[in-house]
Amino acid sequence: MTDAKTEVKLDQKLEQIIKSVEDLTVLELSDLVKALEDKFGVSAAMPIMAAAPGAAGAGAGTAGAAVEEKTAFSVILTNAGGNKISVIKEVRAATNLGLKEAKDLVDSAPKPVKENLPKAEAEELKKKLEAAGATIELK
């Protein structure tokens, strides 16, 4: 693996791993990340600061009064329902997955269809999938 700025010589085993990761779909990468998090007890999420350094004293009297509203939602397919073909079509349209990948996702429910969506987009996708016959959960 070479870069214009630096050249890094990697072990053959590492190059094979990188090649394997390059061949994965987005959903497979997501599953890989979750499996690694579970296996090693770590989180791939960026740490979030609880409060700005200077804001600790300013809001101390109103602690707990303001609750942060969730801005990113995951659309979880919990059940495909009786009309799997329509659900697979909607999953394909929403995710740009191939037919096999979309079918595998629907068959392996409960699974996230899309993650980190704004509320409006998550609600719209939920309505489309429910109209196709699926049972959906927003998280």
Domain contains 104: yes
Could you report the per-residue pLDDT of 30-58, keeping only the tens digit for each?
Answer: 888 888 878 877 776 655 555 555 544 44
In terms of domains, do 38 and 75 share one?
Answer: no
Domain contains 49: no
Domain contains 14: yes
Cα separations (Å) of 37 from 14, 17, 123?
19, 17, 28
Domain contains 81: yes
In terms of domains, do 132 and 85 share one?
Answer: yes
Confidence of residue 83 (pLDDT cuts 50, 70, 90): confident
Tell whether the model's pLDDT for residue 7 goes beyond 70. Answer: no
Domain contains 114: yes
Residue 2 CA to residue 18 CA, distance in Å, equals: 13
In terms of domains, do 82 and 123 share one?
Answer: yes
In terms of domains, do 85 and 127 share one?
Answer: yes
Query: At 108, which CATH number?
Result: 3.30.1390.10
In terms of domains, do 81 and 127 share one?
Answer: yes
In terms of domains, do 129 and 93 share one?
Answer: yes
Nearest alpha carbon to residue 76 among 134, 138, 118: 138
DSSP string, 46-111: PP--SS-GGGTTTTGGGTTTS-PPP--EEEEEEE--S-HHHHHHHHHHHH---HHHHHHHHHT-SE
In terms of domains, do 134 and 79 share one?
Answer: yes
Q: How many domains does the chain have?
A: 2
Domain that holds residue 22: 10-44
Q: How far apart are the first and last CA of the chain?
A: 38
Residue 98 CA to residue 82 CA, distance in Å, equals: 21
Nearest alpha carbon to residue 114 among 26, 49, 32: 26
Please tell me what DSSP assigns to residue 135.
Answer: E
Domain contains 84: yes
Helices (H) and strands (E) in the chain — how many of each?
5, 3
Sign of CA dihedral 25, 127, 77, 88: negative
Tell whether the model's pLDDT for residue 80 goes beyond 80. Answer: yes
In terms of domains, do 78 and 26 share one?
Answer: no
Domain contains 116: yes
Domain contains 53: no
Residue 130 CA to residue 136 CA, distance in Å, equals: 7
Task: Please tell me the pTM assigned to this model.
Answer: 0.49
